[in-house]
Structures are given as C-alpha cells and as structure tokens.
Structure 1
C-alpha cells in the first residue's frame, strides 16, 4: 500500500496570451489502501490531474509524490502507479492479442520465458473474471466490458501500488457498468491498493469511495470522508452536484436556491477573479448583496480552516476539538 499526494499541482497548456490552466494549485491526498473519488463536471480538470500523475501531462508547478518520492523520478516503464483509461476501445492496440498486451506490461524481472508469461497472463485474466482462453483473441473480438477488464488486467500486470481509474464505465453499456465497478472494488480490497477513482457520477463514487474530492475549474473545492461530504456538503458547487442527482427523497435537504440557471459557465481561458464559482453560485454575490468578497478574494487561501477544506468564504468554520486543537 502507498500514499499518493498531489502537492500544489498546476498544469498549463499553451503560452502567455493563449495559455489555459487546466489544473490550478490542486492539493489532494490518496491515503494508503483507500479509494478517493474525484468528481466534477466535464472540463473541470479531473482527467488532466490523472494524466499528470502518470507522466502524460507536464507539471507547470508543484509535485506529485508516491510515498514521499516524486513520481517523475520513478522508472517510466514500470512505475508502481498505473492508470486505467476511459475508452477501452482506444486503450488497447487492436493489432495485439489480449495476451500480448498484458504480457507487455509485465515487469522484466518476471520475464523468464514464454511459459511463465502465459501462466501470469492467465492468472491476471482470471483475476478480472475473464476466461484465460481470451488471451489469444484480438480486442476487436471482445465486448466493451471485456475490453475494459483486459485494460484492468494490463494495469495490474505492472504490480502497481496505486491505480488511477479515469471514468472507466462511461463508455460502457449500463448493463455492464455495475459489474466492472464491483470488479474494481473487489480488486482494490483484495490487493489492498490505493486508488484514485474519477467520475462525474456521484452515485458511483459513493458506492466505491472512502473519500470524495470535488473539482471545479481546475481546483479542488471540497474534500473529505464520503459520508461526511455527502451528508453535509460545505461548498455550493458540491450542493449543486448533489441536487442534480435523481432521487426520491434525500437526507440532505438544505434550504438553498438551485444554481443560477441563466449564469454561463466560466471561460477556463479567462477564469473569474476571486472564487471561480461566483458567477454561477447561489450563495454568491449574484444572489446575495454584500458578498463582493467572492469576486475579489480566493477562498482557497483559508480552506484549511473550514470543514472538508471547502474553498468557500461562507462555509462554516471548523469546530475546535475538545483538546483545544483545530
């Protein structure tokens, strides 16, 4: 088990006038042996943060640490950090058999010959609930769910300590999504992996995750234990995400307005000053006179003083513990 830490991570594309900040000063910890669900709408920077962790997106600032070691210093071929990508149709080479794709990811130390490789590939396929006979097939001969299981087996072939799963069910039929999610949770528990699970689906994240982090316009705006965040969300964006989830009844019933329907999403090339969410926020200056602080001051500066590290000026302050600490 290993701990993955994103320390003040920023990712920028382009230069100067045309630069886009995809991730802006993100702080996030994936505790050892636990699952952190990262949620947010499309374009919030979730996948960019994941790609930065595996070296597919350059860091403009900050560090990504695996047990205190910068991931950029780890061996590129067999890092103890592996990623399962969103699209199972694009993540596997269509010209390579399933067995060859998985065997390619095996550490060289285990490469003792064809028989050993075949045995290990069969074990990995069995681990993701696929018949080892599938090893001789091409990806095009498999269903989407089967391909995604192969992608999981390929990630596990590298003997990872941390797995990043990026929207791994969004390209699958609804009928197979649950089976793949259950597989991921079973594998995580059995192998005691640390996992960053990325999704826009709060119901999925609640099912899988020990902790939740909410991302908006490149920044983490709230993070904490899953049940605490969902039962008592502190950031208006988190509350708006929860309000968008279809449900019959909810234990979460806070008297607040929905998101401002007429407000346009912020332009990531020209993000708002102060709180990035204030042009859409039902708790911000467009809905409440006198809250101009949202336009001028970044609430992330004092996030550590609030429950769930909420990047909101009007989140409740942390209650002091009985021992007097905060």
Structure 2
C-alpha cells in the first residue's frame, strides 16, 4: 500500500483500520456518536446514510452500547463505551486487518475484560479478519496466536504466544514475563 493515506484508494483505506488508545480524542464532541460511527460506512464503503446509521446502531448494540447512548455526544460516554464506539467505527469499514493500539490501558479491570472478550469473539467469528494488538500488558498479549516483542523499536523475539509466554528466549521478554508473574507492571 502507498505510505501516505492520501494516496490510498477507498478499498485500501477500509482494509486496515485502527482503534487507538485515546478514544476521547478520536471523536468530535459536537456530533452524535452514531453519526460519527456511521460515517465510516458512507465514506469507505459508499453506503447511503440511512443504511449506515442502521448498521452503526446494530454494530454498537452488538458491542454492548445501547441506542440511547449511541445517539448522544461522546462526552456522555465512559472510556469503555467510547472504546466500543471506536471499535464499531473501525468494523463498519469491514477491514481485513484491525490494529488495536493499547485500547485497554486506561480502563478498569471489568471494562478491560469486556473489551478483550469482544475482540476474542470478533476474531473467532469474522472470517478474514486479522487482529494486531499493540500492548505492554502480557495478559492482553496472551490472547494472540503469535507475539512479537520489541525493545526500543527493534524486534527481539517472535513466535507462538504460548512459547513466548512460557519459555522466553530474549532477556527483555524474560523480564516482562517475570514481572507479570510477580504481579508487577509490564511497561
């Protein structure tokens, strides 16, 4: 794909979608959430606005966000609710690759678990969808089939998740696993 988003076609833009850590920054405070979510289907798939709104409401409801909240402005939603809305927006593009960058880092443990359950179900039930999780949290990384460990931007270890988490070969990975087992932070 072209490096610049401006040089990518609609199909190329839709194929790879991102859900970022700060969901509040990803939404315009002055427009209802459902309209912002639906905009993806209009812009990237050419859906008409009414169809896009219906799809957005269905997707949001499927992710646990009720219609009354969907019609509200982003300031009325919690961090977890906004993350679900950001996820719905990305899914309306019908991507082949979904990149989730630290999407659970600012959430309480119950909300975090809910988001991870949603991601697990998405990968299980959406054919052709690949999920890339960027995280410092090894409990989140454990959801993956494969893990790649970076140290200051350099790939130091990669392999099947079970192998990386049980028998790490690189000192950085071993340190992360040891801190996780001890109950410490992984960042």
Q: TM-score, normalised by structure 2?
A: 0.87
Residue in structure 2 matching 1:178, options 85, 100, 113 = 113
Counterpart of 2:18? 83
Shift of 1:110: 4.1
Counterpart of 1:164? 99
SS at structure 2 position matched to 1:245? helix
Q: TM-score, normalised by structure 1?
A: 0.51
**Runs of 5+ in structure 1 lacking a partner?**
1-69, 249-326
Counterpart of 1:202? 138
Shift of 1:71: 4.7
**2:151 and 2:105 mapped to 1: Cα distance?**
19
Counterpart of 2:81? 146
**1:126 and 1:188 mapped to 2: Cα distance?**
18
Shift of 1:247: 4.2
**Runs of 5+ in structure 2 lacking a partner?**
none
Counterpart of 2:27? 92
Task: Mark the structure with the bigger radius of gyration.
Answer: 1
Q: Residues 78-119 of structure 1, C-alpha deviation per residue, up to 9 Å, x if partnerless?
A: 33100000012211111111111111111444423x432221
Higher helix share: 2
SS at structure 1 position matched to 2:180? coil
CA RMSD of aligned residues (A): 1.9
Question: Does the 8 A contact of 2:42 with 2:52 survive in 1?
Answer: no
1:74 correspondence with 2:11:
no
Question: Does the 8 A contact of 2:69 with 2:76 survive in 1?
Answer: no
Q: Residues 112-141 of structure 1, C-alpha deviation per residue, up to 9 Å, x if partnerless?
A: 3x4322211112112312223333100101
Shift of 1:150: 0.2
